[in-house]
Amino acid sequence: MSILIIAEIGVNHNGDVQLAKEMIAAAKECGADIVKFQTFSADRLAGTGTPKVPYQMRTSDPSESHHAMLKKLELSADAHVEIKKYCDQLNIEFCSTPYSHEDAEFLNDLGVVRFKVASADIIDRKLHEYIAGTGKECLMAVGMATMEEIAAISIV
């Protein structure tokens, strides 16, 4: 069985495509096989009045809403396309965590090889059913899940 090294970029690009490309190049240089991003719409993920959690208050502008913070970290569809093309040029796999069914559809259309689901979304049956229907590999985080939630997802 082969081992794949996944470089977690997440939202550490701060919404900056050039920074994302620099991180991809660094990951490739370090021997990573896959770079993993996050794909979401701030409008679907959080309301404008959603408060930040304590660590976000400490690490970002406390006067900024959770929604506004996410909006700055969000990558547009065009940015995703540009980043995916750059990954293809460097021969490193582009992967991303979709935070909704719509995001998963977009990533599938973009041509991802596999999906990675966040543990917070382990209860999103619609998302899991869509991903399962693609026939593509799915990596699933379970750090925030109960054993019952993990067992329930195995029936999708």
**Residue-wise pLDDT tens digits, 15-39:** 899 999 999 999 999 999 999 999 9
Closest CA to 38 of 14, 9, 61, 67: 9
Q: Which residues have C-beta within 8 Å of that of residue 96, sequence separation ≥ 6?
A: 36, 37, 38, 39, 80, 107, 112, 115, 116
Gyration radius from the chain CA atoms? 16
> Whole domain around residue 137: which residue ranges?
6-153
CATH number at residue 127: 3.20.20.70
Q: How far is residue 148's CA from residue 113's CA, in Å, rounded to a whole number?
A: 28
Q: How far is residue 95's CA from residue 34's CA, in Å, rounded to a whole number?
A: 7
Report the number of distinct structural domains present in the chain: 1
* Tens-place pLDDT, residues 39-74: 988 888 887 888 887 887 888 788 888 778 888 889
Q: Is residue 1 part of a domain?
A: no
